[in-house]
Amino acid sequence: DWTAGFSKSLNVFLNGDAIGEPDRRGRQVRDDSFLMLINAHDGDLAFTLPPAAYGQLWMKVLDTADPLLAEEESPVVKARENVAVGARSIQVLRRV
């Protein structure tokens, strides 16, 4: 419920190791894992990254508040560290 004052943020873990469908040859499909940080609030928010079981290191690959982001310039962030997400923006981090 986005109209409630307390529900203006969301994070979603997309686990590339848990794809349930096999490929055409019956092998397990694996892909990169991603973390989406969604801030619908009108101010910046700090998101605490999940524990190391989800990934020890993360790199920002998309930031709607910074459309000129170059992945090679993005610092690596460790599990449990805070990441600032701009007002009304989304960041996508890739597990490295």
Q: 3-state class of 5 per DSSP?
A: coil
Report the pLDDT value the prediction gives residue 22, as an integer from 0 to 100: 83
Nearest to 87 by CA among 62, 60, 57, 65: 65
Which of 4-13, 32-41, 44-53 is predicted with the least confidence, judged by mean pLDDT?
A: 4-13
For residue 1, pLDDT beyond 70: no
Architecture of the domain made up of 9-95:
Sandwich (2.60)
